[in-house]
Structure formats: structure tokens, C-alpha cells
Structure 1
């Protein structure tokens, strides 16, 4: 049978409010979110949709930087402004309505342009967990991106024009311990059982078990016994090929008992063992991507400024080389299975005890490194979490938006390579960049006043961008005509979709759970197509 359900604790109001998201990122993820401080630059329709989806799950604080006054266009596209807001500061008005969604969130409004803040008070941005910006000029984008890169604050640049939208994540280095993979590989160690597991497995004799208990043997035991029997005639090798695994299945079929009429008894645990052959008989090994992390220069050349992630990687490498004998710590998590309560709890305790012992060894190594470097301590809970998810560690090393805007060699060749494909989404990236260039030159969006007259000017901007990356002009002007037809307007449905996506990415960065987009996301609302690119 399955593991016994834990007694549900009494839920307080906060737990009830955040119940669904707590199932996604847990108490520690929620605590990280509540300690987060988001800065939004410009409360456009897109900007407010982003903040809405961050305020609702309970981010700690939000600061909106916006020196614009509310216009008729804002009221027409922004659900967080009303007619009485016209002529007032857009950031303050939007914040007033956004905070009503969740009174637990702190809100602040700054009525200064971002470029002025950059010049007069650059330290302003150091206090934020993530900075999100939309509707900025080209120069401000580059200056802000470079500054945030230098002070190592994550930055998300968003755009929403007509049916097109995009966001670009700039982050120097982002380590994810809890990646929450869709198909997490079980860690059973049946090929290299640790001592307590080996003792338990060897003590059970399937063929000697009473008929009434036969259907309660954990499938892990059944699988192990089948492999043992197979190894007798296969030189103690490990079944790897499809043929060999089919032979294991035949042996499991042979374990199934029959009634007095010779008909196999239907026992669910043996069915589970048959289904698990292909997934559970994967040999225990150190994944190449994890090995690359453990032996990277950041993990081998530590200093006082090294992050806790790299310190734990260094300690983990020490464990793998010594006590682990080339293997990562035991994860300590059992899959659900049909078994008696006694068998399941005993087996569960065996795996959990070994996982705790392995994590304790890594924790001692972490303490030694911390003492040598004289840096901040790392909690035992963090080390245990790290060891439990060591099989799926993930690291992103991002790139600077300011460098991307210069269209240097590698960026230019990357864009040019994608533009060679027909109907590729990279075309929309060029159009959005060209619209920014047009706005910088003409102080308005293309098509804002004269849709027909702006087509040639926007085409010039597109041609300049394509020339910078050594690409030929677009064969058709359809996309350029469409961009001018938008007139720089935000369509709320597009902004709402994109705002939700950006909020998800910001939450991933704050909680350090789940893999964020790396690093450009483009959305075409007219076709509902999306694409990601890595500059």
C-alpha cells in the first residue's frame, strides 16, 4: 500500500490563501517570495499585469518607478487605472489599485525618470531582488542593463506592441537546486546497494513468503531478486539492453504464483515490478552535467566571495571522490508502491537514514570550507536540500543586454543564422528593436501619427539593423506595415498573457526554483506562436 498520509496540520488564514502555490514551491519558496522586493519601471498595461501576478502570490514589496502622467491611452489599455486617474502620476495610481489585491504586500512609488535615478542615485537599484522594465528608450535600456549587470541584480526587459510581445532576462549567474523535473529519475541504488539496503534485500526470500504476504512485497525487492537470479548466468553483469530487460521481466513472471487451476494470481506489486524494469534498472552514475559543475573553476577555486551554491558544490565533490565512491548522495525518496505498511516504512527508513548520513558528511565538509574561507555560514537544512536534489542541479550563465544591443560578432551571427529560416520568430525581434530605434529618433512610436508616412522611416531602421548583422533586407514589407498599423498601442490581452509569463519568470528567480527562460522569449499574438532564443 502507499505510504501513510501525514496528519494535516491546522491551516491558518495565510496557508489557506496560498495553499495552491505552497504545493508548487513549499514554505521555503514562499518565504523567499515574501522577502523579495520587485522594482517595476513604467506602469504600462504590460507592467501592471506583471506586478498583478506577483502581488497576488504574496511578494514582499513592490516599488514602481514612473514619472509619466495618466493619459487617455493608458486608461483605455490598463485595467489598473480609471478615468479619475487622468493627469495624475501613473505609477502611484496603478500601485494604489494593485496593492488592493493583496494587503500583505508593501508598495512604494517613485516619481522620477529611471535615467535620472541612474545618474543621481545609482545605488537605488541595489536593494531590489529583480528589476523589471518596459517602455524604455534604447539608451536607457543599455545604461540600466549595464548598471544592473555590474551590481549583479537580475533584470527583465519587457515589450508589448500590438500583437507582438517579448521579454529578455539578464542574469549573470543563476543556480537552481530545485528544478522540479517532469520525469524525475528514481534513485534506488539496486546496482550498488549500500549496506543497510543490501541487508534488507538479502534477508527476504520471495519464494518462501506465505501466499497471503506474497502480494505485499515491495516491487523493489522483486526487481532486485530477479536481477540477482539473472546475474547467476550472466557473469554478474547489469541488464542494459532491451533483450536483457525482457529476460528480467520473464523472471518476474516466473515469481508470480498460480492458483490450484494453474492460473496466475493477479498481484499488483508484481505488475508494478514489471512496469518499473525500464526505469528502475538504470545504473547509478554521476551525470556529466553535474560532474561539469563539481569540477568547474567556480567550485574548485573558492574564495570568500564564493556563493553558497559553489561552496556546496565543492563539498559535494569531496563526498563523491571519497565516501560516495563516485556516486552522489542518496536522495532518500521512495516512489509510491503496493506493499504492507511494515515493509514500506522499513524500506523508507532505510533510504531516509542513508540520505541523512550522506547529507551529514557533506554538511561537515561545508563547515570546514566555510571555516577556511571565513565566510557566512550555510545552514544544515540548505545542505540537506542541496544533497536531495543534487542529481538535477541547474546553472544559467547569462549575457548582458547592453552587449546584445551593440550587435557584436557572436550576437550578429546568431541572429543572422536564425533569419535564414523562413517565417522565423526572429523577424519579430528585429521589428521590436527597429520600433525602439524609431522611437529614439522620432520621440514617438511608429505609426502613432502617420501610419503610412512612418513605413519608410521604420523600414530604414530595419535595414540598418539588418546591415549591422550583414543580412539582406526582408523580401516583403508586410511586417513593417503591420508594426506601423499598431501605432505603438498595447493590446490588453497580449499584455496580460505576457505579463503572466514575466511574473512566472520573476518568481522562479526569487524562489530559485524551476528553470527560468534563458534568455529571450518572443510572443506573436496573431498566430499564438512563441519562441525562445539565447543571445
Structure 2
């Protein structure tokens, strides 16, 4: 193992060498270098992103020294962008860091062409109005954004992305591979037909793979039932009893038959194309016949060419289409020779399917006038291997989230519905509404509630409490949910007490969550948050909302 492999060994096990390559090529833009921002970026510097740029126009103050582990007393008065850039770079010499002393919103909006150089934007310490301006600037460039924010004991992580494509969603637990037992392909059927189970001695029979047993039994079943698979509960039970009847010893002594009994459903349940593929990928406009937009970016361009080729592969099969075979074979009781023979058969079929998809890719690339070299055979093999798990997610815009006419009220309603969601006073949804009220307060008064320079609430703060509660109730009225939002002056008092302070323990939690989502966006692996997560540090509970 080389030095880089040894250094990043643990994460290579999670997202592989191709995922690590994506990280190493990533350029991250951090807007605001407070504790939440530095904690998030720290978690990306350590696993080896290629480059980062910190944009901040503030100097290190006493508050930074007290709540940011990356800032010490000696840096008082120095620029936060330069300070955090210097200290973060020390964590990993493989990573290049830069800083820009500028207001983050001005930096993003004054020259939008610079945004094309970034893989991902991380925005922290941003009120609603700033996020709207940044979102508007990012939209034409298809650059995703992770919003990470802590406000006292409350934390929020938000994904802002157009169409995000995932090849390796890696569901957990991992579903059973497509073994084609219910509808074997010709090569598998020929292999199984060539095995005479009746002529085997008990030792060889005990080491015959369950795939062979089930394919033969289902062939016998179909011959006796008008070529039909078991459909009713009674028929399925009858088929499983047929498996039991093959035992030559006391039931339970033959491992291969136990596996066959446990996996009997594979014999009468043909693997279907999941709706996440048929409805979300194949039905997407980019999977049609129109020219693909030039601004998609290299990964997304490859994804949609591959998706179109996969769709054509499926459509060409007629009334009972299948996705390409992955070629993977799970562990099972079998002799080494028989297992290797089966591996060879499944791999050959997987290679043939991948080649068929590759040929269609070449046709699409030519028709679209794209560089034929942007997709390799290895790209196609990886795509076909994960064909059941490709995903496309659509996250709403922040402008939609704050528009009562466009926000997903159904998800909000479920979050507070009695007996379904969390309708208690510490509900994460209530914390979310209070945070939005704080932003509305900021928009009206030029400061956040409670920012009066005092550590404890005084009588004069009652005005802030009353104003903040009224704004929160105003947002609740605009949402017009059926279930009541039990907002009280206690909520407003708590948020006034926070005075928009970031605490490093909360920043560490949110930094972990936000960086995890950032890695998903960069590597196009795993499914990203859809689309906002709220964490209540008082009760250590959280909830996500598709707004």
C-alpha cells in the first residue's frame, strides 16, 4: 500500500479510490470562518480535499477566541479568513488553502464567473436574506451549497442543489443481489440443467448451491402449474415445503437447503426495476432525447448519457425488461469448483450487459456531438453494477422554502401531527420556525434578538421576546397548518437568550453533519439529505424535513 493509501485507508473503505479521487480534485468555498464553518471544513481537510478558499471580512475578536478552537489569543485583531486558513492547512499538508478578505455575499455576487472554479459552497452564519442572494448567484452555475448554522443550542443543515445524481447510493442493509432465479438467463439455465441432483451422493448434494436447487425446483413447479410462478400465500408455502422435501438427512443438517428455504422468495419474485430508477431517473427530462445542457458538469453529463443508454437497454428488452446483471454472487454453501463456475457465468452475463450499454453510450455521445472519450468501459461497468441503486434527488430552493405557497406543508404537518410527529414544546420544527423568526427579526431591526451586549435578560429584553414571538406566530399563520403550533413566550425567551451565539460544542456536531453531506455531494455516493435537518441540542434530538 502506498503512502496515500495508508493515510486514507479507513475512508477508502467507505467510498473507494474513485471517491477519494473526487475529494482530491474538489475545491471548497467556505463563506464565514466562525466555529461552525471551521469545524465543517476541518472534517473535509482531514480526509484530503484538494483545495479550499475561505472568504470572511471580519477580524478575530474576543468572541472568536472563546468559541472557536481554531483561533487563539495571539491572533486577536488579525483577519479571520487568514487565521483559519493558516491553522486548517496545518491539519493536512496535502491540502492547499487560500483566503479572501471580503464580505461573502459581495464575493459571490460581484463576479459570478469565479463560481465555476468551485466544487461546493459551504455557507455558515448566514441569515435568510444573505442565503437567498447566494443561492441566486449559484443557480446558473450548478454549484451545490451546504448551509450549516448554529444558533445557541439549535443547529440547522440545509442542502441547496439542483439535480443531484448518485451512482452508488449504497443502501443499508444491502438488498439481495439479482440472481435471476425466478427468470434465469439462458447460460444459467443451461448450467443448472447440466446438474443431476438425483445422481449425486449426499456429500455432493450438501454442497450444491441453493441457486441450483431453487432454479431446478421452480422449473419443476412451472411445468406442473401452466408455466406460472407461485402467487398466493398457499402456493408460496407449498413451494417452500417442496424445498424441505429435498432433504436427505434430518431437516437443518444440510446448509444449502436451509439457504434455499430462506431464499425461496427469490424463486417466485422476479426482481423489478425500482421506482427510484424507473420514475425518478428514466422519467427525468435529461433522460429524454433532447440535447443535454452544456452546463451540467463532467459527472452529471456522464451520468445522463449512461442513464439514457441504460433506459434504451431496458426498453429494447420488450415486455419483461431487466436492468443489467451486476455479476456479484453472494456467499453460499458450495464446492469451490461449482461456485467458481457460477461466478464465471454471472460475470460473463454482466460483461455482456455492460457491453450492450456501452454500445448505446457511444451512439448517444455521437448523436449529442460529445467527446467519445468522456465515458470508458470501466465507467459503464461501475454504472451497470449499481444500476438498481442509481438515484436522482431534487432539492427545493430556499426561496421556495420561505414562500408559504410553495413550501411542502405536508411534511411540516406530519412533523407536528399528534401521534405521528413531535408536537411537544421541544419539537425540532418549532425550533426551525423560531430560527426563521430570528431571521425575520434581523431583517426588520438590523440585529438578531437579544444582541444588546448583556449576558442576562433584563426587563428591556421583554420587547425582543414579544416581537420575536409575534414574528414566529406570524410565520405559523402563513403556513396555515391544520395542527396547532404550540409556540410560547418560553421559546422566544430562549432564542433571545441565545443572541445568535455560536457555541463550539454545537458547531462540532453540525460540522460533522454538514461535512458528511458535503462528502456525499462531492463523491456522488450515498443519498444526500432531503433537504433540511434541524438539531435540538437541549434534548439531543433532530428531524429532517423535505421543504
* Pairwise same-fold verdict (TM > 0.5): yes
Given the alignment of the two structures, is residue 502 of structure 1 paired with residue 490 of structure 2, yes or no?
Answer: no
Among candidates 40, 44, 47, match of residue 30 of structure 2: 40
Two-structure CA RMSD over aligned residues (Å): 2.2
Runs of 4+ in 1 over 4 A off after TM superposition: 412-416, 470-475
CA distance 1:170–1:19, change in 2 (3 Å): same
Displacement of 1:470 in angstroms is: 4.7
Displacement of 1:20 in angstroms is: 1.6
Q: Which residue of 1 aligns with 2:361?
A: 366
Q: Name the stretch that deviates more: 387-396 or 362-371.
A: 387-396
Q: Which residue of 2 aligns with 1:431?
A: 434
SS in structure 2 of the partner of residue 410 of structure 1: coil
For residues 353-372 of structure 1, the C-alpha deviation after alignment (integer angstroms, 9 at most, x for no partner) is 10110110111111011111
CA distance 1:360–1:462, change in 2 (3 Å): same
CA distance 1:412–1:227, change in 2 (3 Å): closer
Q: How does 1:356-505 map to 2 (within 5 A)?
A: 356-376=351-371, 377-405=374-402, 407-411=403-407, 413=409, 417=413, 421=417, 422-423=423-424, 424-449=427-452, 451-452=457-458, 453=461, 454-470=464-480, 474-505=486-517
Given the alignment of the two structures, is residue 93 of structure 1 paired with residue 54 of structure 2, yes or no?
Answer: no
Among candidates 192, 197, 205, match of residue 196 of structure 2: 205
Given the alignment of the two structures, is residue 343 of structure 1 paired with residue 338 of structure 2, yes or no?
Answer: yes
Q: Distance in 1 between matches of 2:505 and 2:232?
A: 51
Displacement of 1:408 in angstroms is: 4.0
Q: Distance in 2 between matches of 1:398 and 1:88?
A: 38
For residues 158-195 of structure 1, the C-alpha deviation after alignment (integer angstroms, 9 at most, x for no partner) is 21011101011110101111110113232011222111
Q: Which residue of 2 aligns with 1:110?
A: 100
TM-score for the superposition, normalised by structure 1: 0.92
Q: How does 1:211-226 map to 2 (within 5 A)?
A: 211-226=202-217
SS in structure 1 of the partner of residue 245 of structure 2: helix
Given the alignment of the two structures, is residue 189 of structure 1 paired with residue 177 of structure 2, yes or no?
Answer: no
CA contact (8 A) 1:418 1:426 kept: no
For residues 471-508 of structure 1, the C-alpha deviation after alignment (integer angstroms, 9 at most, x for no partner) is 78855211111111222222222211111011010000
CA contact (8 A) 1:257 1:265 kept: no
Q: Distance in 1 between matches of 2:218 and 2:110?
A: 70
SS in structure 2 of the partner of residue 131 of structure 1: strand
Q: Distance in 2 between matches of 1:106 and 1:264?
A: 63
Q: Distance in 1 between matches of 2:256 and 2:411?
A: 54
Q: Which residue of 1 aligns with 2:297?
A: none
Q: Distance in 1 between matches of 2:523 and 2:487?
A: 45
Q: Distance in 2 between matches of 1:329 and 1:134?
A: 43
CA distance 1:281–1:495, change in 2 (3 Å): farther
Q: Name the stretch that deviates more: 65-74 or 459-468.
A: 459-468
Given the alignment of the two structures, is residue 319 of structure 1 paired with residue 313 of structure 2, yes or no?
Answer: yes
CA contact (8 A) 2:534 2:543 kept: yes
Q: Distance in 1 between matches of 2:543 and 2:252?
A: 52
Q: Distance in 2 between matches of 1:43 and 1:222?
A: 62
Residues matched between the structures, number = 520
TM-score for the superposition, normalised by structure 2: 0.90
CA distance 1:473–1:317, change in 2 (3 Å): closer
For residues 181-214 of structure 1, the C-alpha deviation after alignment (integer angstroms, 9 at most, x for no partner) is 1132320112221111111011112121123322
Q: Distance in 2 between matches of 1:21 and 1:225?
A: 43
Q: Which residue of 2 aligns with 1:512?
A: 524
Q: Name the stretch that deviates more: 225-234 or 178-187.
A: 225-234
CA contact (8 A) 1:304 1:375 kept: no
Displacement of 1:438 in angstroms is: 2.5
Q: Distance in 2 between matches of 1:506 and 1:514?
A: 11
For residues 335-391 of structure 1, the C-alpha deviation after alignment (integer angstroms, 9 at most, x for no partner) is 111211111111011011101101101111110111111023322221111111111
Displacement of 1:301 in angstroms is: 2.7
CA contact (8 A) 1:415 1:426 kept: no
